[in-house]
Amino acid sequence: MKNLIRCSLVAASLALACQVHAKETSAGQVDFASFLPNPDGQLVEVKVESGLLKFAAKVAAAREPEAAEIIRNIESVRVNVVELSEANVADATAKITSVRTQLEAAGWAPTVKVRDPKKGEDVAIYIKSGADDAIEGIVVTVLEDGKQAVFVNVVGNIRPEQLGEIGKRLDIPVLKRPEVKTAAVADTQT
């Protein structure tokens, strides 16, 4: 459950990190399709589009200008969490495998892959790079010991230094490392 909350917080905070672009289909957008819910379990679907993100940026601008800048760069955030049972575990596992295969075929970089058979965890994070060191999309897929499947897609124009800020705000060590910077930021510090 902590992983679910942390993944959701990362996705939400990335929603605080990017610029809205008026595109119908962005290069960073991934269609996860719909998921077969567990008849007796939870299904959480969160979809935050540009209108709500623009509003959030305006609200944040007065007190948190850095957060507002991050929000302006996000186009959309989608999070799906599916509780698994015998009825839907095969469907969710097949969807995760299919999404991962499609991402790699489309040139997305698999940046993190963790498989721990002892704990039953299978996590993969993919990045779609854009121009000027920007990230156009991030996809996180998690399959947790037949308990739940998590799918996250953040679309926008995410700059590496913004990931560092998100890491600081949410206390995510891997994101707040100093090497998560653009070349321009690194040049100004030398």
Band of pLDDT at residue 126, cut at 50, 70 and 90: very high
pLDDT at 1 over 60: no
pLDDT value at position 18? Answer: 40
Q: Which residues of 176-187 are buried (b: 16+ CB within 10 A; e: fewer)?
A: beeebbbeeeee
Report yes or no: 139 and 108 within 8 Å, Cβ to Cβ: yes
**How many whole angstroms separate alpha carbon 171 and alpha carbon 183?**
23
* Average of per-residue pLDDT across 103-131: 91
What order do you get walking across the sheet with 121-129 strand by strand?
43-48, 74-83, 148-158, 135-144, 121-129, 109-116
Tens digits of per-residue pLDDT, 162-180? 766 666 665 655 555 544 4
Band of pLDDT at residue 100, cut at 50, 70 and 90: very high
pLDDT value at position 171? Answer: 62
pLDDT at 95 over 80: yes
Helix, strand, coil in percent for the chain, rounding step 5: 35, 30, 35
Q: Which two tokens stand for residue 70?
A: 């991050």
CA distance to 50, 124, 169, per residue, from 177 (Å): 29, 20, 13
pLDDT value at position 22? Answer: 36
